[in-house]
Amino acid sequence: MSDLRESFRRQAEALGLEERLQACPLPEPILVEADALERVPAYIAGQGWRKAAIACDERTAAAAGRRLQRLLEQAGIDAFVAVIAADAAGDVVADEASLMELLLAAKPAGADVLFAAGAGTIHDLTRFAAYALGIPFVSVPTAASVDGFTSLGAPLLLRGVKTTVAAVGPAAVFAETGLLQAAPAPLTAAGFGDMLGKLTSLADWRIEHLLSGGAQGGWSAGVAALTDSALRRSIEQADRLRGGEAAGGAQAKQGGAVVSGQAEAGQDGAVDGAQAEAERGGAASGVETLAEALIESGLAMLLLGASHPASGAEHHLSHYWEMELHRAGARPLLHGAKVGVACAIIADYYRAIVAAASGKDGGAGSGEAAAAAAGTGRAAGVDAEARPGAAEGAEPASPPSRKSELAASTYASLPPVSAEAASRVAAAAGPAWSEIERIVGSLPSGERIRELLALAGGPGSPTELGLSDAQVERALLEADRVRPGRLTLLRAYNEELRKLG
């Protein structure tokens, strides 16, 4: 039995994070293995819990929830499945209605533990419900789709506004590899997109530290290194994540958009059996590695007590689009799919801001330093010696030749960057600006990020998500307001831009 908790603990200790480990109990155990669900009853009995509520949606109830219920009942533990209803469009949304539905199912029944059997939305609902009820919850991921399985915060849609609410992390994690490998391909690709977002979130975190003179963000080189290590391992597996699509997970699209409800539904497609089996085998270890990386990214946030390592401007764009689509009555898009696309946009936009501040051509994708760094998967601002277990010199496999396709499908252009606003940001940063230039210059180009997303089978451009150039521009100009307490380079630039009127 392999417990991811212990390997993560060893990494953290090697980085001098013993005090954080002592102050922040990690989930125990954290299992990513073939028979993870079989181990749940013994764990629950050992905790003395006697009644369990299993939160899920229709698909994850069939995939894991009802099986988990049977396993618990066979062990003499009272268990029931609480299926969260989808909305009229067929999507389960982490909003007030879904929260109330889960609370009304769990509280009257006297549950003393909650299970989140599902992907990101189910986990967000369950962690807040557990917090509100004052009981623990156990994570049972059914897809390697997000890094929030072990986090403390619950991003909820409250009155149409995306709000991250403090909640609780899981007491334990049981991730069964067969479930993860059988998940629809768009969910796995979304998980990879969520991990790629760490390229810009780590950059933003370091930039916040520099712009605030160390007063904001709680920068920790050790926590950043843990996140960067998980990111690099994910990138090394990019070409091994597509097997699930051939094995039955259909690309769920609506007008070019990866739509969350259809992806969660897990619609199957007929394929040649031998081909599917071969591709399953090739993808198995890749999906398992991605799942471990996502969990470790969440654990890094847990150690810090905040989401800075994993959430920067790319997440703010994602949340902005989510709210805009909600107001328009459109179906939601997968979180990680939006994050991956936003990461590529932010990488190019940040380069344009830095170029404008120095009086250079601010065209997206320019910059020799960025070109040199493209493809390394190395997060900006993280020193090489701080990366535990990183395979130095290891490069991700070359993606299929999609440059012409990508060029045709990306946004037409970034909004023009104001040289005056960018120069004001640089002036306010003072001596720290040279380090910010280095951080931005070390980001892979947007083109390289889109190639990696395509390699993993995910969308790389707003067009593929069904988003227009106007939606991209609005998000770049307004998304920093989504989380006004978080200082990103996007926020610093936009604040100066607004002062100019």
pLDDT for 253 beyond 60: no
pLDDT at 244 over 60: no
Which pLDDT tens digit goes with each residue over 131-168?
A: 999 999 999 999 999 998 998 888 898 998 888 888 99
Give the whole-angstrom CA distance, residue 496 versus residue 501.
Answer: 9
Burial of 484 per CB tally in 10 Å (0-12, 13-18, 19+): exposed
Rounded to an integer, the average pLDDT of 345-366 is: 82
Mean pLDDT along residues 296-321: 96
Would you state the pLDDT for residue 163? 87
Average pLDDT over residues 208-236: 97
- All structural domains of the chain with their residue ranges: 4-182, 185-499
**What would the pLDDT profile of 158-168 be if each residue is shown by its tens digit?**
998 888 888 99
The segment with the largest mean pLDDT, out of 67-76, 267-276, 327-336, 409-418, is 67-76
pLDDT at 1: 46
What integer pLDDT is reported at residue 398 of this predicted model?
Answer: 35
Instruction: Decide the pairing of beta strands 113-118 and 137-141.
Output: parallel
**Top-confidence residue, 399 or 432:** 432
| pLDDT given at position 369 | 35
Query: Which two tokens mark 377?
Result: 């998967």
pLDDT band per the 50, 70, 90 thresholds, residue 400 = very low
List the one residue out of 119, 121, 130 whose CA is nearest residue 53: 130
- pLDDT at residue number 457: 96
429: pLDDT confidence band, cut at 50, 70 and 90?
very high
Which of the four pLDDT bands, split at 50, 70 and 90, describes residue 425?
very high
Q: Quote the pLDDT of residue 377.
A: 46
Q: What is the pLDDT of residues 48-82, one digit of tens each?
A: 999 999 999 999 999 999 999 999 999 999 999 99
Supply the pLDDT for residue 89.
Answer: 82
16 or 397, greater pLDDT: 16
Residues 6+ apart with CB under 8 A from 243: 181, 279, 280, 281, 282, 283, 284, 286, 287
- Comparison of pLDDT for 371 and 459, the residue scoring more: 459
Residue 388 has pLDDT above 80, yes or no: no
Asked whether residue 109 carries a pLDDT value surpassing 80, the answer given is yes
* pLDDT, mean over the chain: 85
Please give the pLDDT value at position 288.
Answer: 95
**For a pLDDT cut of 70, what percent of the chain falls above it?**
81
Q: Over 50: is that where the pLDDT of 364 sits? A: no
Write the CB contacts of 329 (distance below 8 Å, at least 6 apart in sequence). Answer: none
pLDDT at 3 over 60: yes
The pLDDT of residue 363: 47
Question: For residues 229 and 248, which has the higher predicted lDDT (pLDDT)?
Answer: 229
282: left (phi over 0), alpha (psi -120 to 50) or beta: alpha
Please state the pTM of the whole predicted model: 0.85
> How far is it, in rounded angstroms, from Cα 485 to Cα 71?
44
Q: What is the CATH number of domain 185-499?
A: 1.20.1090.10
**pLDDT computed for residue 284 by the predictor:** 63
Q: What is the pLDDT of residue 372?
A: 35
Give the pLDDT of residue 380.
57
According to the model, what pLDDT value does residue 356 have? 97
Reply yes or no on whether the pLDDT at 190 is more than 60: yes
Task: Return the pLDDT at 368.
Answer: 37
Instruction: Determine the CATH number of domain 4-182.
Output: 3.40.50.1970
pLDDT of residue 242: 78
Distance CA 281, CA 304 (A): 36
pLDDT digits (tens, 9 = 90+) for 258-307: 445 433 433 233 334 333 334 444 456 899 999 999 999 999 999 999 99
What 3-state class would DSSP assign to 111?
A: coil
Q: Which long-range contacts (CB under 8 A, 24 or more apart) does 394-397 make?
A: 394/232, 394/236, 396/235, 396/236, 396/238, 396/239, 396/452, 396/455, 397/238, 397/239, 397/455
